[in-house]
Structure 1
Amino acid sequence: MRETSAVAVIDHATHTAYSDPGRFAALLEAVPSELDALSTVVRNVIVHYRASDHVLPADTVRDIHSRWVARSLELDQQRHPAQLAETREPTTKVQGCCRDHTLLSVAILRQHGIPARSRIGFADYFADGWHHDHVVPEVWTGDRWLRFDPEVAAPTPLLVDPRDILAGKGFHTAAEVWRGHRAGTLDAETYGVDPSLPVARGAWMVRNYVVLEVAHRFGDELLLWDNWGTMSGRGSGDQDADLIDEVADLLVAADNGDLAAEQRLLELYRADGRLHPGDEVLRVDLPEQELVPDSLIRAPEPVSRRPCSR
């Protein structure tokens, strides 16, 4: 799967500032690029901070703000100075979420010279009748983008093959959901973090995730609780709706192979401050739920932005 020529307007085989492992590159090179093995390692390093079967320590919950792969690997190596495949106890793993499982997967693939990217959307294979906000990786196989979920170890009744999630079969991009909401063909109130959290669902969240989706597509793989530009809170689902409509349409067209649409999307993203973050975002400081400024330029160590090894 060592294909480096993906159908895209940017090079997804090259590390971003977020996926660059820095001084931990050798750790990623030691991980196989085969998806089952890779996913096992990713689950071994990252534990979901609120969806684990274990009671996780409160003093490591702020691991979830580790926006750089290099920082997550630094935390891991402080606790386990060993190869990433060596078993970690769940309570000592780096706490994170689907975004962190995905970014580590993408970083491993890029380190092997394989184009990979993260996708923001909603999954309906965790619970009947509910669409959980979710992030999954895509890898270029040489002829298509293959979507997979490293968090899911084996097939389930709702997810036939976690290593090959077909378009429209269990995972729906934020752009697709927004378009469905605007067309009146779906209920946005069934899309969100969890059915028990009415404050984190609905049209406002879907529109924010469209902005996140375009950011991740073009290498700004930000946290799910980062806020910038046109992002807003509950009750503001129609803010800049025309802009979100255009972005969603371009994302869907780009997914269908329209490179002109993807180029237009990239130009729009880079030019419009409502879409593109500057040097600072407002981050929700979980678990306190307070908005705090957070810099996007303070990497944990110098970031090379170099191409991955081939």
Structure 2
Amino acid sequence: MSHIVQTAWSNPGGLSRRLAELPSEPHALATALENILIHVGIAHAEGTGVPERARNDASARTLARLLETALARDPRPLTERRAPADLLYGTCHDFALVATAVLRMAGVEARIRVGFADYFSPGFWDDHWVCEYRRGGDWKLFDPELGPRMRNRFGVTFNIADLPRRRFLTGARAWQAVRAGTLDPATLGASAIGISGDWFAAGSLLRDAACLAGIELLPWDTWGPAAEAVRRREVAEADLPWFDSVAAAFAHPPSTRAATYALLSSFPGALPGNSVLSVVDGAPADQPIL
């Protein structure tokens, strides 16, 4: 299956025509997304916080739900700037999901990538989700969260539609770097909430592999051996070879979704079931994936 086909998570449902209002050129798309979507971390950093009615925005699992919420608050074209109270308050996951869906609708192969970026906190690799799209036969990274406002905030000068690979480590690459001793696990995680460690890298490895296979879950979802690592806040010694094998397989993933799904299926416990361990309001709980 091609990465042009929408997944159960990126499918806009009956709102395809509204999604088509957004431009498919990456720079223009990142600019447009700043009109409708803001990261919850940025809202808190700027002192405005998250409106009560937007408290659960980041927990929306599907693009259709995000679009329904955005249009219920403000039915104007998605390119129109929303008032702060009418914005969607999400995470990098939501920027990546919307961008990936827009590109797929435009006939561009696109997939979500999960990993870590070094351009938000100096000396730290922050958990981050971006879009990867095919252009001219090559896969390029695109960070749709880096519209003009965010580029200015973080001093970003690189091409956001061709993100340098040295600035973003995929889940597999991050795990391999930690295991090789070239990346300190204490500098990898979520700096805003003060969590880091090899257990975080293990979860990102599986989330990235799942997204490549067309299973686009939330940043706080874990399953299989990674779920146990989250509970313990460390990876069990016995599980290290298993994660090493998954990372080796996905450091250079297959180009098709079907082949990626088959590869992920070959590792017992690597595919999520109908529910996952999801950390909701700081407490782990089982949540359905759709």
**TM norm structure 2:** 0.89
Q: 1:196 to 1:17 in 2, by over 3 A?
A: closer
How far 1:274 sits from its partner (Å)? 1.5
Q: 1:126 Cα shift? A: 1.2
Shift of 1:65: 0.7
Report the 3-state secondary structure (helix = DSSP H, G, I; strand = E; otherwise coil) of the residue aligned with 1:125: strand
Q: How much does 1:144 deviate?
A: 0.9
Q: 1:55-74 counterparts in 2 under 5 A? A: 55-74=49-68
Specify the alignment match of 2:76 in structure 1: 82
1:226 to 209, 221, 227: 221
Match of 1:190 among 187, 190, 197: 187
Identity %, equivalent residues = 33
Which structure dedicates a bigger proportion of its chain to helix? 2
1:296 maps to 2:289? yes
1:151 and 2:150 aligned: no
Structure 1 position 250 matched with structure 2 position 243: no
Counterpart for residue 166 of structure 1:
164
Alpha carbons 1:125, 1:159 under 8 Å: kept: no
Q: Which moved more, 1:233-242 or 1:99-108?
A: 233-242
Q: Kindly provide the amino acid, as one letter, of the partner of residue 12 in structure 2.
A: P
| Counterpart for residue 3 of structure 1 | none
The one-letter code of the counterpart of 1:192 is G
State how 1:29-178 maps to structure 2 within 5 Å.
29-52=20-43, 53=46, 54-154=48-148, 157=155, 159-168=157-166, 170-178=167-175
- For 1:80 and 1:157, locate their aligned partners in 2 and report how far apart those are by CA, in whole Å: 31
Q: Secondary structure at the match of 2:284?
A: strand
1:82 aligns to what SS in structure 2?
Answer: coil
Q: Give the counterpart letter for 2:65 in structure 1.
A: R
Asked if the contact 1:49/1:56 (under 8 Å) is kept, the reply is yes
For residues 147-166 of structure 1, the C-alpha deviation after alignment (integer angstroms, 9 at most, x for no partner) is: 11111124564542222112
Q: Deviations over 1:254-301 (max 9, x none)?
A: 3xxx669x94x5324124451111111122113xx122322224xxxx
The code of the aligned residue for 2:235 comes to: S
What amino acid does structure 1 have at the position aligned with 2:163?
Answer: I
Deviations 1:87-110 (A, max 9, x none): 112332111100110000001111
| 2:18 alignment counterpart | 27
Q: Is the 8 A contact 2:207 2:222 kept in 1?
A: no
Which range moved further: 154-163 or 185-194?
Answer: 154-163
Amino acid corresponding to residue 86 of structure 1 in structure 2: E
One-letter code of the match for 2:32? V
Distance 1:196 1:270, change over 3 A: closer
Whether the 8 Å contact between 2:117 and 2:126 is mirrored in structure 1 is: yes
Q: State the shift of 1:235 in Å.
A: 2.2
Q: Is the 8 A contact 1:120 1:174 kept in 2?
A: yes
SS at match of 1:162: coil
Give the aligned residue type for 2:224: G
Structure 2's unaligned 5+ residue stretches are none
Deviations 1:40-77 (A, max 9, x none): 22222221112223322133211111010000001111
* 1:167 shift after superposition: 1.7
The answer to which of 159-168 and 27-36 deviates more is 159-168
Segments of structure 1 that go 5 or more residues without pairing to the other structure are 1-9, 298-310
TM-score (norm 1): 0.84
- SS of the residue 1:206 aligns to: helix
The structure whose residues are more often strand, as a share, is 2
Q: Which secondary structure state, in structure 1, belongs to the residue aligned with residue 56 of structure 2?
A: helix
Equivalent residue number for residue 215 of structure 1: 210
Q: Is the 8 A contact 2:112 2:132 kept in 1?
A: yes
Residue 300 of structure 1 is matched in structure 2 by: none
Q: Quick one: higher RCO (CA 8 Å, sep 6+), 1 or 2?
A: 1
Pairing partner for 2:9 from 12, 18, 21: 18
